[in-house]
Amino acid sequence: MKIVFLDRDTLSPQTTLRRPTFEHTLQVYGRTAPYEVAARIADAEILIVNKVRLTPELLAAAPKLRMVAVAATGTDNVDIAACAAKDIVVSNIRNYAVVTVPEHTFALIFALRRSIVAYRDAVRAGRWQQAKQFCFFDYPIRALHGATLGVIGEGVLGSAVAEMGRALGMRVLLSAHKGRSDMGTPYTPFEDVLAQSDVITLHCPLTPATRNMIGAPEFALMKRRPLLINTARGGLVDEYSVGSALEAGQISGAAFDVVSVEPPPLDHPFMALLDRPDFLLTPHVAWASDEAAQGLADQLIDNIEAFVRGAPVNLVRPHTV
């Protein structure tokens, strides 16, 4: 059975990818450009991808393909409906980042809430010596204890972030994405979470229902000037509206680990915000602790072996909403 991995470089070099136990050949590519995909998957039976985009046209060029094993949780780069139409099984990775993503989320929250980077840069620029006393107060420092944390997303990551927030003494509000009205207790309506939260953190998949779910109208509802944190998926926020929201004081800070185009081009609106003390951008690494990356790689091979045994797991099906 031929397995092709199109973008191995999306996993760190120290991550070990064990060989499946069944008889196979494995072709590994570090990166694959869009124009290279069709030729590389032409005779693949199992395809491993992380971020390479698979369109119906590309899938049609792989007549032997039986499985797409996504080396990530998000699958918006794969046309799931086209796979289903061709009886191609799609699996993804589940629950491997339940520690590392919440930790990174709170690293960003702490950094902004206490102006860590701004103070670090000020010290490096000589501001402490200029102050001529034991401290200075150029940037805001706010406690998290007693603040309200709005968690948008009903999955395992959102639940883990909520648990961390409660451990820090925060009041936690849970909400599904905009437009959901069928959640009931303990969920709070989306618009109420926007209005009441001091920190808003996103933990939703990217679907047609969640794309650009936060933009100018939603920023206008944020009465408490919250921090906005996105360690989930690029595209959940209208990225062109973030700078305006910061300038207008509708939010007190924003931190993103994900962007709709990765890496962002130099003219992306986020690149113009990098010198602001109230904005942070990290390169999609919330998931990437050594421990989590190894867990991902192990589960990836587990998924493939389960498929070959005839008992596939972690199946991804077309969205019905």
Residues forming the active site: 233, 262, 284
Of 233, 105, 243, which is closest to residue 164 (Cα–Cα)?
105
Q: Which helix (H) or strand (E) holds 112?
A: helix 100-113
Residue count (the chain): 321
Q: Which helix (H) or strand (E) holds 26?
A: strand 25-28
Instruction: List the Cα angle 243/246/248 in 5-degree steps.
Output: 110
Q: What is the dihedral of CA 151, 155, 160, 166, to 10 degrees?
A: 40
**Other CB atoms within 10 Å distance of the CB of residue 247:** 10
Q: Are 188 and 181 in contact (CB under 8 A)?
A: no
Of 221, 129, 130, 234, which is closest to residue 175 (Cα–Cα)?
221
Q: Are 96 and 70 in contact (CB under 8 A)?
A: no
Report the alpha-carbon distance of residue 28 to residue 20 in Å, rounded: 14
Report the alpha-carbon distance of residue 67 to residue 305 in Å, rounded: 11
